[in-house]
Amino acid sequence: MFGTGIRQNDRDTLSIVMIRVEHRLRFVLALLMLGIAGILVSVGAGPIIQYASGSEFTISAGMQGEACGSHLEWEMESRTISAGTRATILNESVYWQIPVIIERQQRDGTWDVVGESPVLRGGERWNYTFWRSGTYRVVSVDETQRLAGLEASISVE
């Protein structure tokens, strides 16, 4: 019989060493997985907790007057909010439908759309949560409404 040059006693010792190494590797892998899971939970739980307990404010759009000559009114002042704040866009108008977009200003001064509501009919509302810091504007998609002043500036810290 041909041998490998390793005695049975050495094989047993090597086998024991390999088993110990395997157990240690499994232990280290388990610790690594727990660490990764902890990081994911802390990163993922932050926005969830912030969303659940974050502050809210309402931006209302409605009619001032009810007949010919009535005009839209945007009940919103520019404001500074903290990240995680939820805005509710509320159409208080009976007659006007209001489509709203939220744009975020980029470093080069251009604006990118980051949120777009459905067309809001009278009494309907739409929510948007501001997660990232920056300068935003909330504006009607409708050109006439935008010219009437349906625009607000929001700074998120």
Examine the domain organization and report whether 79 and 113 are in the same domain.
yes
pLDDT at 58: 80
How high is the mean pLDDT of the chain? Answer: 80
Examine the domain organization and report whether 46 and 61 are in the same domain.
no
Examine the domain organization and report whether 49 and 68 are in the same domain.
no
pLDDT digits (tens, 9 = 90+) for 136-146: 999 888 887 77
pLDDT at 69: 47
pLDDT digits (tens, 9 = 90+) for 26-38: 988 888 888 887 7
Examine the domain organization and report whether 79 and 43 are in the same domain.
no
Burial class (CB in 10 A: 0-12, 13-18, 19+), 85: buried
Q: Quick one: pLDDT band at residue 105, thresholds 50, 70, 90? A: very high
Examine the domain organization and report whether 28 and 66 are in the same domain.
no
Question: Is the pLDDT assigned to residue 157 strictly greater than 80?
Answer: yes
Q: Quick one: pLDDT band at residue 4, thresholds 50, 70, 90? A: low
| 64 φψ region: left (φ > 0), alpha (ψ -120 to 50), beta (else) | beta
Examine the domain organization and report whether 107 and 142 are in the same domain.
yes
Examine the domain organization and report whether 115 and 91 are in the same domain.
yes
Examine the domain organization and report whether 47 and 72 are in the same domain.
no
pLDDT at 94: 78
Examine the domain organization and report whether 67 and 124 are in the same domain.
yes
Q: What is the mean pLDDT of residues 44-71?
A: 62
Number of folded domains that form the chain: 2
Examine the domain organization and report whether 7 and 73 are in the same domain.
no
Give the range of the structural domain holding residue 125, as residue numbers without chain letter. 55-156
Alpha-helical (H) ranges within 110-156 are: 143-147
Which has more confidence, 47 or 98?
A: 98
End-to-end CA distance of the chain: 78
Q: What is the mean pLDDT of residues 93-110?
A: 90
CATH of the domain at 68: 2.60.40.420
Question: Is the pLDDT assigned to residue 79 strictly greater than 80?
Answer: yes
Tell me if 123 sits within 8 A of 92, measured CB to CB.
yes
